[in-house]
Amino acid sequence: MKKYWLAAFIMLYAIGSQAQNDLGNADDAARIAITAYVDSDLGFNREVSKQLLNKMNAVLTKQGLAGSKNQRFIITANADILSEDIVVTTKEMYQYQLEVHFIIGDGIDGIKFATASQTVQGLGETKAAAYLQAIRKIKPSDPTFQNMVNEAKVKIIEYYNSKCDFIMSEAKTLAQKQEYDAAIYKLMSVPDVCKDCYDKCMAAVAPIYQSKIDEEGARFLAEARAVWASGQNAENAEEAGTILAKINPASKSYADATVLSNEIAKRIKEIDQREWEFALKQQQDEVDLEKSNIKAMRDIGVAFGENQQPITYNIRTWW
């Protein structure tokens, strides 16, 4: 069963990635993840920072890119004041003309990939209000952003293709240290537009996931056995059952978990003549199992990335 789903998983991804090569540029770009980021050292107030993040995320969405947290590749922004004036109408108003610069690049290695700029003007009763109104006039649908994204996409694909062996080596090392979630995250982060690297990483991630659920299954089984051994009663049966329910049906421990479950059910029946209302996760057919495991691996990668400490980006030389 385990060998079958691993082989089927690799085949399923191979078929999928072959089909994806026929998709258009927008579909390909949708598989590249970029983080919108504002450097706190630039001195923007909270409202301006929030508005810039909103604009950058809108650019990513309109260009079919995936926004996420804690990614190597970022889009960031800064602004130069071209002019600052006081306009007198019925009352004194402040007016700013800004040139807002956007950059996509490798925030960890500090390499710029592509840039775009927009000139905007804002008017307000305070300097902060005028500045904020100018930022709000940025148009994420402007063609300059599409050009920036297309240029950056080429550089990102080049990064993955050139670093693929290193990515896989790092993932293997993490897996050997039983840091399975980190290994899965690293492999699942490769976008499928990078076909060669993507295929290699997808072939490598399945056995790592299998090792993860095998290790977890063995641990859960040991915990359940310890609970049941400490007292064969209804209360411990419920606690052991809760632990057994965590075991993935594809785990090597599933068969032994079934044996223990049957043993507990038999004992509960002997104690008070009632059925034990518990069922292990059911074995799925191979197609459903493949789909559920693929989703599980994606979810592990996303959760791991979202829960990491914020990255300190190396972008001071970008401005």
> Going residue by residue through the chain (319 aa), what tens digit of pLDDT does each one get?
455 445 445 444 444 444 444 333 434 333 688 999 999 999 999 999 999 999 999 999 898 886 777 689 999 999 999 999 988 777 899 999 999 999 999 999 999 999 999 999 999 999 999 999 999 999 999 999 999 999 999 999 999 999 999 999 999 999 999 999 999 999 998 988 888 899 999 999 999 999 999 999 999 999 999 999 999 998 999 999 999 999 998 899 999 999 999 999 888 888 776 666 666 666 655 556 677 788 889 899 888 988 888 888 999 899 8
Asked if residue 179 and residue 151 are part of one domain, the reply reads: no
Asked if residue 142 and residue 210 are part of one domain, the reply reads: no
Given a contact cutoff of 8 angstroms between Cβ atoms, the answer to whether 79 and 135 are in contact is: yes
Given 163, 180, 198, which residue is the final one in a domain?
163
**Inside any domain, residue 10:** no
**Inside any domain, residue 124:** yes
Asked if residue 141 and residue 39 are part of one domain, the reply reads: yes
Given a contact cutoff of 8 angstroms between Cβ atoms, the answer to whether 116 and 145 are in contact is: yes
Asked if residue 184 and residue 267 are part of one domain, the reply reads: yes
Question: Cα(213)–Cα(56) distance, rounded to whole angstroms?
Answer: 38
Asked if residue 157 and residue 228 are part of one domain, the reply reads: no
Given 163, 183, 208, which residue is the final one in a domain?
163
**Inside any domain, residue 296:** yes
| CATH for 134 | 3.30.160
Asked if residue 173 and residue 91 are part of one domain, the reply reads: no
Q: What is the pLDDT of residue 193?
A: 85
Asked if residue 149 and residue 32 are part of one domain, the reply reads: yes
Question: Cα(118)–Cα(97) distance, rounded to whole angstroms?
Answer: 11
Asked if residue 139 and residue 67 are part of one domain, the reply reads: yes
Given 139, 163, 187, which residue is the final one in a domain?
163
**Inside any domain, residue 72:** yes
Q: Into how many domains does the chain fold?
A: 2
Per DSSP, 178 falls in state T
Q: What is the pLDDT of residue 278?
A: 65
Question: Cα(36)–Cα(70) distance, rounded to whole angstroms?
Answer: 10
**Inside any domain, residue 16:** no
Q: For residue 30, give both structure tokens.
A: 């949708």
Q: What is the pLDDT of residue 12?
A: 47
Closest CA to 282 of 245, 243, 235: 245
Asked if residue 99 and residue 33 are part of one domain, the reply reads: yes
**Inside any domain, residue 12:** no
**Inside any domain, residue 318:** no
**Inside any domain, residue 1:** no
Q: What is the pLDDT of residue 20?
A: 42
Asked if residue 157 and residue 64 are part of one domain, the reply reads: yes
Asked if residue 42 and residue 104 are part of one domain, the reply reads: yes
Q: What is the pLDDT of residue 306?
A: 83
Crossing angle of helices 195-229 and 2-20, in 10° steps, is 150
Asked if residue 196 and residue 135 are part of one domain, the reply reads: no
Q: What is the pLDDT of residue 298?
A: 87
Torsion-angle region of 81 (φ positive above 0: left; ψ -120 to 50: alpha; else: beta): beta
pTM (global) more than 0.85: no
| Domain span including residue 56 | 24-163
